[in-house]
Amino acid sequence: MATSGATKRLTKEYQTISKNPPPFIVAHPSEKNILEWHYILTGPPDTPYEGGQYWGTLMFPPDYPFAPPAIRMHTPSGRFQPSTRLCLSISDFHPKSFNPAWEVSTILTGLLSFMTSEEMTTGSVRASDHERKLFAARTRWWNSTGGGTSGRTIPGVSNSNNRGVGAIKAGDGGVKFRKEWPELDEENWKIMKEKRIDPATGLSVSANNSAHGPCSPEAAALRRRPGSSTTGVGAVVQGGQVARDVGQSWLSRNKWKLMFGVFCVYILTARMLGDGAVAS
C-alpha cells in the first residue's frame, strides 16, 4: 500500500504529465493501484522504432519518491526482453543512485533515450535495425491481440483456421492492454481492419483471403515465442523473441558455396603441385 506521501506525489505527477506529456510519451496510473503505472512510448522518427507503439509498466515502491520503480516493457521491440525488469540507473536495480527529484516524466524520458541507444544492460537484447523495424510494424497488432491470442476476428480477413501456425497460445488476448488503453485498442483494431491484418497471425491478407500459405522468414521469426514465462504484475503477457534468423550474415547464407569453392581450389592446387613434381 502506498504511503500518503507517495499517493500525493504520484497524484500530482499524473496531473502534470497529463497536461504536459513529454514527446512520444503518455502514461497513467491504474485505477485500482496508484503504484502501478502504464505507459506508451511511440517510436521516434529516424529510429528503427519509428511509429511503433510500445506499452510497459512502472511499479513504484510504497515509499516513492525515495526509491525508484521497477521498469518493464511488454511489447516486443528487439531492444528489450518483453515483460522483464530492466536494469537502469532510474530503476529499482539501483536504488542508491535514484534522485527523489526525478519524476515519472523524467523516468520515461530516460527510458526512451536508453531505448534508442545501443547500450546493453540486464533485460536488453541485440537486434538489427531491420529486425526492430519489423517489430515496430507489428506492435499495434501485438498489443491488441496479445500476440495473436485474441478470439476476436475481422470479417473477411480472419483465417477460419485459428489453430494453425499463427494461433499462439501464450498471451492474454490483449485483455490487459484493452483495459488500460481502450481508445488505443479501438484505434488499433480499426487500423488492422483497414490494412486487412489477420488477428491470429499479424499478417496482411489478400482481398480474396487466400494469403495463408507459407510466410516470409521475417514474419515466421517474429511470431515465435519462448517457452519460458514471467511472473508478477509487470509480466502481463509472455513476449516474443528477437527474430535472429532475419537478416542472417552473408557468410551463413553462402557457407556451402564457400566450402565448394575451397574444395575446388584445393584440387587445382594439388594437381599443379603434382604436375610440377613429375616435370622435375
Active site residues: 87
Phi, psi (deg, nearest 5) at residue 259: -65, -40
Q: Are 37 and 57 in contact (CB under 8 A)?
A: yes
Q: What whole-number distance in Å separates Cα of residue 136 and Cα of residue 180?
A: 20
Q: Which residue in this structure is represented by grid cell 485483455?
A: 175
Q: What whole-number distance in Å separates Cα of residue 280 and Cα of residue 213?
A: 64
Q: Are 62 and 148 in contact (CB under 8 A)?
A: no
Q: What whole-number distance in Å separates Cα of residue 16 and Cα of residue 20?
A: 6
Q: Which residue from 233, 237, 214, 215 is spatially nearest to 168, judged by alpha carbons? A: 237
